[in-house]
Amino acid sequence: MLKVLSVAGTRPNFVKIAPLLAEMRRCPGVRPVLVHSGQHFDREMSGCFLDELGIPAPDFVLRPRPSASPGEMMPALRELMRNERPHVVLVVGDVNSTLAGAEAAAVLGIPVAHVEAGLRSFDSGMPEEANRIATDALSSLLFASEPSAVGNLLAEGRPRNRIFLAGNVMIDTLTQFLAVARRSTVLARLGIAAESGTLPRYAVATLHRPATVDDPAVLGRVWGALEEVAAEVPVVFPVHPRTQARLRDCGLADPDAARGIRLTGPLPYLDFVRLESAAALVMTDSGGVQEETTAMRVPCLTLRNNTERPITVHEGTNQIVGLEPAAIVAAARAVLSGSVRIGRVPRLWDGRSARRIVSTLCRHYGSRREPVASAIRIPAQAVPAAAVC
């Protein structure tokens, strides 16, 4: 029996781990163990995701101090892994829990598999970039979501036979839940639409990265841009807890003062996907939201100077507009006046990435059976420089 210990601890981690856990549970030769690292712990960033996405109760739950670094989280994970003795540790994404899980496994000599390997913003000021590079350096199996990530890993000297283009597990979750999400009544609850009738145009904003929200001057200018967009269409802004605190510090958190910007707390997944799916425009600094909008062909403006997900720009609906208000407002107006690129959904973002990944884990780490191999359709086209798993 192949024992796979997964570490997840944040909102995007839960969205990514859900299809992997479901796939492992379907495999008779695999025993999944889930560790909740406790990085996000409140109901709106954690519990409701476990419930909505059908993630089973974690086998272990840790409670690090809020904003713990990977180094602070690592010892508890190491002790847990020492007792559990998994055959492989599976980590997803680029948050502190990702790196902490990889480090804990590596010091015990347990192989690490990283899902979403190889993404690079080439922005050394971004905390997630350090987590990505270090996690990949510690990983034995590297599952990439887009070809650029494969190229980055090869350029960093990672062995070709350890890199797999697997597609995007976040889009597996989206594919699975989109129809259910479309039945969400969130638009009526937010006062965007009547229960029945035509849907007015609206925009969605999400911001949570330190580079966007930590400097009051930057946040104030971005806020000003959102207000200008909100003069044209309602802007719904589900506020991340980190951003909530920063808006409060700047005196911007009062919904009555938020001229046209409709502030709400972080939304549960199904409500948020519903909101994204029908939006005329999404403005974001989120990684996952760039991918989901590309998959749903919703226009997206990324309020950053770079992206580690270039396929969303080259093939999808994403534009990098930076943080200058004039550029944000001009790009938003262009989209709202009909200048939109429909784009195409990237190859292998097909809802079957978790299946490919679990099958590859079984092949590499010797599950007694090959549980899903016969069910997998391996795409015919050769991918330069890496195996499609």
Q: Which of residues 2-41 bind ligand UDP (CB under 6 A)?
A: 11-12, 15
3-state helix, strand, coil in the chain (%, to 5): 45, 15, 40
Q: Which of 36, 40, 87, 208 does the annotation list as catalytic?
A: 208
The residue among 295 and 372 lying less far from ligand UDP, judged by its C-beta, is 295
Q: Is 374 exposed, middle or buried (0-12, 13-18, 19+ CB in 10 A)?
A: exposed
The residue among 269 and 365 lying less far from ligand UDP, judged by its C-beta, is 269
Instruction: Give, in order, the Cα–Cα distances in Å from 137 to each of 13, 75, 134, 249.
Output: 20, 19, 5, 38
For the bound state, the minimum distance from the C-beta of residue 161 to ligand UDP, rounded and expressed in Å, comes to 29
Question: Helix (H, G, I), strand (E, B), or coil: what is residue 234?
Answer: coil
Binding of ligand UDP at residue 319 (CB under 6 A)? no
Which positions from 174 to 213 touch ligand UDP by CB under 6 A, shown as an x/- string?
--------------------------------x-x-----
- Greatest Cα-to-Cα distance within the chain, rounded to the nearest angstrom: 61
Parallel, antiparallel, or unpaired: how do β-strands 88-92 and 2-8 relate?
Answer: parallel
Question: Helix (H, G, I), strand (E, B), or coil: what is residue 277?
Answer: helix
Find the binder of ligand UDP among 238, 299, 310, 316 (CB under 6 A): 238
Whether residue 353 contacts residue 168, with contact meaning beta carbons closer than 8 Å, is answered with yes
Q: Is 381 exposed, middle or buried (0-12, 13-18, 19+ CB in 10 A)?
A: exposed
The residue among 121 and 152 lying less far from ligand UDP, judged by its C-beta, is 121
For the bound state, the minimum distance from the C-beta of residue 115 to ligand UDP, rounded and expressed in Å, comes to 13
Judged by CB under 6 A, the number of residues near ligand UDP is 17
Find the binder of ligand UDP among 269, 318, 328, 352 (CB under 6 A): 269
Which positions from 277 to 306 touch ligand UDP by CB under 6 A, shown as an x/- string?
---------xxxx--x--------------
Question: Helix (H, G, I), strand (E, B), or coil: what is residue 271?
Answer: helix
For the bound state, the minimum distance from the C-beta of residue 79 to ligand UDP, rounded and expressed in Å, comes to 27
For the bound state, the minimum distance from the C-beta of residue 77 to ligand UDP, rounded and expressed in Å, comes to 20
CA–CA dist 191, 205 (Å, integer): 16
For the bound state, the minimum distance from the C-beta of residue 266 to ligand UDP, rounded and expressed in Å, comes to 4
Query: Is 208 a known active-site residue?
Result: yes
Side-chain half-sphere exposure of 171, counting CA atoms within 13 A: 25
- Residue 342 is encoded by which pair of tokens? 């429909």
Binding of ligand UDP at residue 267 (CB under 6 A)? yes
The residue among 91 and 362 lying less far from ligand UDP, judged by its C-beta, is 91
Of 27-35, 82-90, 138-146, 267-275, the segment contacting ligand UDP by CB under 6 A is 267-275
Q: Which of 62, 369, 309 is nearest to 293 (CA)?
A: 309
Find the binder of ligand UDP among 237, 272, 349, 365 (CB under 6 A): 272
Binding of ligand UDP at residue 136 (CB under 6 A)? no
The residue among 206 and 318 lying less far from ligand UDP, judged by its C-beta, is 206
For the bound state, the minimum distance from the C-beta of residue 287 to ligand UDP, rounded and expressed in Å, comes to 4
The residue among 269 and 349 lying less far from ligand UDP, judged by its C-beta, is 269
Cβ burial 335-359 (10 Å sphere, 16+ → b, else e): bbeeebeebebbbbbbbbbbbbbbb
- Residue 168 is encoded by which pair of tokens? 């995007």
Whether residue 128 contacts residue 104, with contact meaning beta carbons closer than 8 Å, is answered with no
Find the binder of ligand UDP among 32, 58, 118, 266 (CB under 6 A): 266
For the bound state, the minimum distance from the C-beta of residue 337 to ligand UDP, rounded and expressed in Å, comes to 27
Whether residue 9 contacts residue 42, with contact meaning beta carbons closer than 8 Å, is answered with no
- State the catalytic residues: 208
Kindly list the residues in this chain that would bind ligand UDP in the complex (CB under 6 A): 11-12, 15, 170, 206, 208, 238, 266-267, 269, 272-273, 286-289, 292
